[in-house]
A and B are shown apart, each in its own frame.
Chain A
Amino acid sequence: MGGPVGDPTPVWAVVALPLVLAALTYSAAAMDSAFHSGGGFVAPLREGVRLVVQQRRRTLAPDALLARIGVISLPAAALLAATVIPLDGGSVWEPPVSVVWFNAMEVVAWGSLWLAGWGVNSAFPLIGGYRFVAQGLAYELPHMFALITAGLGAGSLDLTEVAAAQDGLWFAVWMPVAFAVYLLSAVAMTFWGPMSHPVADDAAGGVAAELSGPDRLLFFAGRLALLTVAAAAAVPLFLGGGAGPWLPGWAWSLIKTYAVLALLVWVRGGFPVLRMDRFMTAAWMVLIPATLLQALVVGIVVVN
């Protein structure tokens, strides 16, 4: 596990983190084009170049500052969340409650979408913003119960210790409900695939309807970065962290992260978009009781 408390984070780790996140995010985009839209490994690069040189679309009377904050906060939140994820035993920054920090950064997305949707002064992005608020109300509680269940199983809210507590038996195996809900909420928090109603095409792209050029690039790269971080966090939370035979810890962490990421990216092709006026009932009537029961079972096992 990481060095003793107080061990200074090596400088290279701080530099490497954004690079690793960027590489993983790019491979998520490449996987998406390989699975769904076609075009292979260079497709995201093409789109990136196109957006970098594209003009910014201007709307009448926007609140440009709010819209910019909304767009930039998305990749920023992903990067800040990534600081606490252990790759090879230790993470860049090791707060004792890293699970809480991860959750807090992921909630920043609520603000991002609402600000970006509101700030451009346009109807469809505003409706997209509303949709994400409803989505947040549906997924956030089950998501938090899933996180707490993993923390309860380990007796700690530190991701490194949660990973260490899964010696021999992954939490994904004996907390399957919490793991499934975590994956679902990872998709929901990144408004991805079946949970992409806030940016859905039926509202001309929703929150993103007016975003062009570098704004659009940051917004969608930020979303994929968040998806990547959510996949990476699943590894210490439910998949035993870097534990595994033969290979070093960081390699196992990467392999598992890629596996989860591939699953999350692939899922986009399989389902239509879930509308919250339908899904809300399922979230509150099924997912919340299910995660509470899961927490209860884990609690009983831990106490004994």
Chain B
Amino acid sequence: MGLRARLLRFAHARPRAFVITAPGSTRTRLFVEAELRRRGGRPVASPAAAAMLVVCGRPGADLMAAVHTVWEDMPGPRSLVRLDETASADDVAAGLDLAARELADVDAQWADARARRDRGPWSPAGEDDHMFGSAHHHSASSEPDHNDHGDHGGGHEHHMGAPMGLPMAGRAPDRDGLKLDVLHIPLGPALSDWPAGLVLDLTLQGDVIQAAEALTTGGSATGPPFWEEPWLRAAAGEPVTTGEAERRRAACHLDSVGRLLAVAGWDNAADQARVLRDRLISGEPGRDLAPRITGFTRRAGRSRVLRWMLRDVGVIDPELAERHQLTGPPARRLADASARLSGWLDEVGAAMERLDDPAPLRETEGPRGPVGGRPGAAVLALLPGLLDGAELAAARLTVASLDPGLDQIAVLSGTTDGRPGG
């Protein structure tokens, strides 16, 4: 191994990965997050900060286009890891090992860099035709540098003689009666700490949302949604204990809490939530975990600063919930993001007390609402109204505090892009 390869191996010993998850691949994502943590690395927020692109599950056509766009603009040395939704923990570890070797392979990295040196950065002219076919999916990418001119689908703001062939931002009156630039930015599907498969098409003035449209991109996962799995197995007649289901429920809520804390910028607590989540899933006995989980929920629940930041964010009133037939944890705490957080924390506490319950599972209320119903659909339906007039930061907190599970919708209903994924 040459000096350069050794240097690269040293530099990439702690993997920095940008993770894109297709709907229905939660289990793979959890394996990836756990394996990254074991190696001292972590998922990062932007492809520019990453050396690895990890794709969990099999994306549908739209999500595949987003993956492709992200990969095209990722700076080298870089490595692509693709893991489908049935990948085991060993598969994930093997994938990351392979990526680490690829990152230290000087010749391969040089070849890659040379091959794309002349292609230049992304430009609207270089888009494939099929992108224009789906009018509402802009680039279907959350990749930032594509977003501020992401309106190439509609084309109604195109001016002749635009700089570099880019349409200029159009202007429209804002809520204060001023005329401000309008940007069209899709949030998702390739965005960190974001529900798999969700795309929000935003119309922004500054960082204030003037209009939002919620869409999903499909995946082609087989098998039941991970978080609902115990309930679905019980419904199919398999013997499942209440304790097993409650363990899954607590892990699901901790996953949601971790995501919300990460979006709120509290990495330390988010990491803690994810460690506890993974220990729950690995089947660690409840009596070992309970004190730690109690400590965590107390810490997260007591933070005044967190409550200050989440108060009055994404307020859902009973009338709105009624109209969209909201179910699950958000319907039990009809208020702001702060209330939804404490709802999750309380339910984690309650679930922990029933971890050893050997009674057969009878209830059908899953972690996100009635199993077999589609609780995510209601959240999708009420999101646009909820985000209207919110700032970008508040919008991200709102989405994270609802954490809609789109696995069922995006997988079961076929993909919204109408094509089976490849």
Q: Are A and B part of the same complex?
A: yes
Binding site for B on A (CB under 8 A): 36-39, 43, 46-47, 49-50, 53-61, 120-127, 130-131, 194, 196-197, 200-205, 208-213, 216, 268-275, 277-278
In the assembled complex, how far is the CB of residue B202 from the closest CB belonging to chain A, in whole angstroms? 10
Q: For residue B7, which residue of chain A has the nearest CB?
A: A49
With A55-B113, A122-B144, A275-B309 in contact, is A204–B46 under 8 Å at CB? yes
Q: Is A60 in contact with B48, judged by CB distance below 8 angstroms?
A: no
The residues of A that contact B74 with a CB separation of less than 8 Å are 57
Residue of A120, A123, A211, A269 with most partner-chain B CB within 10 A: A123
Bound Cα distance A123, B10 (Å): 33
In the assembled complex, how far is the CB of residue A123 from the closest CB belonging to chain B, in whole angstroms? 4
A-B contact pairs, 23 of them (CB 8 A): A39-B14, A46-B14, A47-B11, A50-B12, A53-B7, A54-B51, A54-B75, A59-B73, A60-B123, A123-B147, A130-B206, A194-B265, A194-B305, A196-B265, A202-B265, A202-B393, A203-B393, A210-B48, A268-B268, A270-B268, A271-B303, A271-B305, A272-B305
The residues of A that contact B40 with a CB separation of less than 8 Å are 38-39, 43
Q: Is B42 in contact with A37, judged by CB distance below 8 angstroms?
A: yes
Candidates A58, A124, A194, A216; contact of B121 at CB < 8 Å: A58
With A49-B11, A121-B145 in contact, is A57–B73 under 8 Å at CB? yes
Beyond the given A123-B185, A204-B191, A205-B46, please list 12 additional residue pairs across the A-B interface where CB-CB is below 8 A. A43-B14, A55-B77, A56-B75, A122-B144, A201-B45, A201-B193, A202-B263, A205-B48, A205-B49, A208-B46, A269-B267, A275-B394
Bound Cα distance A49, B148 (Å): 32
Per the 8 Å Cβ criterion, residues 180-203 of B in contact with A are: 183, 185, 191-193
Q: Is A271 in contact with B12, judged by CB distance below 8 angstroms?
A: no
Annotate B161-181 by CB proximity to A: 1 below 8 A, 0 otherwise. Answer: 001101000000000000000
Q: How large is the interface on B (under 10, 10 to 19, 20 to 34, 35 or more residues)?
A: 35 or more
Bound Cα distance A195, B314 (Å): 22
In the complex, whether B13 has a CB less than 8 A from a CB of chain A is yes
Bound Cα distance A39, B191 (Å): 26
In the complex, whether B262 has a CB less than 8 A from a CB of chain A is yes
Q: For residue A124, which residue of chain B has the nearest CB?
A: B144
Q: Is B11 in contact with A50, judged by CB distance below 8 angstroms?
A: yes
Annotate B140-169 by CB proximity to A: 1 below 8 A, 0 otherwise. Answer: 001011011100000000000001101000
The residues of A that contact B261 with a CB separation of less than 8 Å are 272
With A202-B265, A203-B392 in contact, is A53–B144 under 8 Å at CB? no
In the assembled complex, how far is the CB of residue A59 from the closest CB belonging to chain B, in whole angstroms? 4
Per the 8 Å Cβ criterion, residues 193-228 of B in contact with A are: 193, 204, 206-207
In the complex, whether B391 has a CB less than 8 A from a CB of chain A is yes
Q: For residue A271, which residue of chain B has the nearest CB?
A: B305
Candidates A46, A125, A268, A269; contact of B144 at CB < 8 Å: A125
In the complex, whether B306 has a CB less than 8 A from a CB of chain A is yes
Bound Cα distance A102, B16 (Å): 36
In the assembled complex, how far is the CB of residue B9 from the closest CB belonging to chain A, in whole angstroms? 10
Candidates A36, A54, A205; contact of B267 at CB < 8 Å: A36
Q: Is A204 in contact with B45, judged by CB distance below 8 angstroms?
A: yes
Q: For residue A36, which residue of chain B has the nearest CB?
A: B268
The residues of B that contact A270 with a CB separation of less than 8 Å are 268
Bound Cα distance A277, B121 (Å): 35
In the complex, whether B120 has a CB less than 8 A from a CB of chain A is yes
Candidates B12, B42, B193, B268; contact of A269 at CB < 8 Å: B268
In the assembled complex, how far is the CB of residue B51 from the closest CB belonging to chain A, in whole angstroms? 7
Q: Is B49 in contact with A275, judged by CB distance below 8 angstroms?
A: no
Q: Is A201 in contact with B262, judged by CB distance below 8 angstroms?
A: yes
Bound Cα distance A213, B77 (Å): 10
